[in-house]
Amino acid sequence: MTFDIRDESRLRAAFRWQVPARYNIGVDVCDRWAVVEPGRPAVFDVAPDGSFKVWSYDDLRRASNRIANLLRARGVIRGDRVAILLPQCAEVAAAHIAIYKLGAVALPLAALFGVDALGYRLADAGAKALVTNAAGLAKLRLLPESPAGLDLLLSTDGADGAVLDFHREVAAQSDAFTPVDTAADDPAMMIYTSGTTGNPKGALHAHRVLLGHLPGVQLPHDFFPQPGDRMWTPADWAWAGGLLNGLLPSLHFGVPTVARKFEKFDPEEAFALMARMEVRNTFVPPTALRMLRAVPNPRAKYDLKLRTIASGGEALGVETFEWGRETLGLTINEFYGQTECNLVLGSCAALGMVKPGFIGKPLPGHEVAVIREDGAICEVGEVGQIAVKRPDPVMFLGYWNKPEATRDKFIGDWMTTGDRGSRDGEGFIRFAGRDDDVITSAGYRIGPTEIEDCLMRHPAVSLAAAVGKPDALRTEIVKAFVVLKDGFSPSNALATEIRDFVKARLSAHEYPREVAFIAEMPLTTTGKVIRRELRERG
């Protein structure tokens, strides 16, 4: 899967998946490199004060072997779910590698999850062990009862009652471990859907999922890796975006990854970190990019070494795309996927495979289409549901303990995404919004993305989201929720100005008839707007 053809049509014609029958993520991203180049830097673990420790591939190999031996000694066997509840740090990488080499199933959990969210996932997954810290334990102790079967608790902040000291227990183990011989189709990790509506579902993935992600990293990062590349993402490594768009592919390619815990995303600190750690490649979700736009003239203020910026999770929008080119001198390459089947669409500026306002084309190896309700492929320009055809190495094995939900995800061999879009004559796909985000007003079906992109062009707007509000006459009207930039204050006059600003730039049926100012946008841990919460505000 080496990308060395700099012509899109020739590259597509030459591409072939190379997925071996026997494959283990842990061996691939760690032991393989530790054998040939043990001192090669793998993780730059940055402390809050800016100091950092460099973990080599051999450091990761030894640490992961010790963790695997500890888990095995404590009764964790092949197929057991082992939860990781920690912010970005080298221990997270080592724990993931250990779990894969043990043949167990990694269950990444976001540090920002609340008590109920953690309790639901631990119980639903039947987790047998948990690696966490004092903050994670504090949340766990607020649960009415401990999740059944959770027998082993390890804390990186030391022993606490029945909770074992992670570092002490790991240090007592041997650093020699023979990885379990796993098939490429054996379960490796389970990542829960973000749960913007309904209960989250555990998407179970096989070891092959990493290989399936590689084209979606190589092209949006303009033929990654290149000499000197170094990766950082503010996305939590518990999210598919942070883990499978950033950490694991970088380790696979021998590219060092910067780990830095952020309590809350700070655009100034993000730029400072990228400059200080000489980050060359970054994956930044659109909401975080819009926050970075608030920093004036960052290239004059910070000595940035950025080569590539990739973004995904929501539509980027033309305004942020243009900001990337004008302010950072880089084309932000979008990519698209979801927890169940990630990085299947993408852009690549180095190939000229990029179009503002579109989320990209199907990446080599993936068959993606816009389909109708009966599974027929839509015509050019026709809005339908974005779908991915099976088999595909990046596609999930199924939802954990939910076979009916798994079946409902498919129309024939098309895995539906719940996202609406359209395809142009060149094969680029435009994102129109989630099925449940589409606004029906006076007979029109309106996607929120174009409205939000227009709102972002107003000089007072920092963040914006558009939702449908029930209306007796029109079924729904468009309502905009706006976070203002510093220096602007909410007022009826400003609301009218913003409303008229959009009306003058979009068609008359699309502009927001109501504008509400909010102090903070409700976001999932993956950085997506929780539109359900905005709709409930009325």
For the residues 179-186, what does the mean pLDDT come to?
98
Q: Please check the confidence at residue 130 and state whether its pLDDT lies above 70.
A: yes
pLDDT of residue 538: 77
1-19+209-366 is a CATH 3.40.50.12780 domain: yes
Q: Which residues pair with 84 in a beta bridge?
A: 108, 131
* CATH superfamily placement of domain 438-537: ANL, C-terminal domain (3.30.300.30)
Q: Would the CATH topology of 1-19+209-366 be identical to that of 438-537?
A: no
Q: Please check the confidence at residue 445 and state whether its pLDDT lies above 70.
A: no
Instruction: For residue 116, count CB atoms less than 10 angstroms from its CB and return exposed for 0-12, middle for 13-18, buried for 19 or more.
Output: exposed
Sequence ranges of the domains in the chain: 1-19+209-366, 23-207, 438-537
Cα four-point dihedral sign 200, 449, 463, 278:
positive
Least confident of 150-154, 312-316, 373-377: 312-316
Q: Please check the confidence at residue 476 and state whether its pLDDT lies above 80.
A: yes
For the segment 199-237, what is each residue's pLDDT rounded down to a tens digit?
789 999 999 999 999 999 999 999 999 999 999 999 999
Q: Please check the confidence at residue 434 and state whether its pLDDT lies above 90.
A: no
Question: Quick one: angle between helices 448-455 and 492-505, nearest 10?
Answer: 120
Angle at 146 between CA 143 and CA 150, to 5 degrees: 140
Q: How confident is the model at residue 443 (pLDDT cuts 50, 70, 90)?
A: low
Q: How confident is the model at residue 444 (pLDDT cuts 50, 70, 90)?
A: low
Closest CA to 413 of 393, 379, 434, 387: 387
For the residues 380-394, what does the mean pLDDT come to?
97
Angle at 335 between CA 332 and CA 336, to 5 degrees: 150
Going from the C-alpha of 239 to that of each of 176, 242, 289, the distances in angstroms are 30, 5, 18
User: CA 399, CA 403: separation in Å to the nearest integer?
Assistant: 7
For the residues 94-102, what does the mean pLDDT come to?
98
pLDDT of residue 494: 97
For the segment 10-56, what is each residue's pLDDT rounded down to a tens digit?
999 999 999 999 999 999 999 999 999 999 999 999 998 999 999 99
DSSP state for residue 198 in the 8-state scheme: S
* CATH superfamily placement of domain 23-207: ANL, N-terminal domain (3.40.50.12780)
Q: How confident is the model at residue 196 (pLDDT cuts 50, 70, 90)?
A: very low
User: How is 52-96 classified by DSSP, letter by letter?
Assistant: EEEEEHHHHHHHHHHHHHHHHHTT--TT-EEEE---SSHHHHHHH
Q: Please check the confidence at residue 159 and state whether its pLDDT lies above 70.
A: yes
For the residues 311-317, what does the mean pLDDT come to?
85
For the segment 317-327, what is each residue's pLDDT rounded down to a tens digit?
888 999 999 99
Mean pLDDT, the chain, whole residue set: 93
Q: How confident is the model at residue 439 (pLDDT cuts 50, 70, 90)?
A: confident
Element (H, E) at 431: strand 429-434
Closest CA to 90 of 42, 48, 154: 42
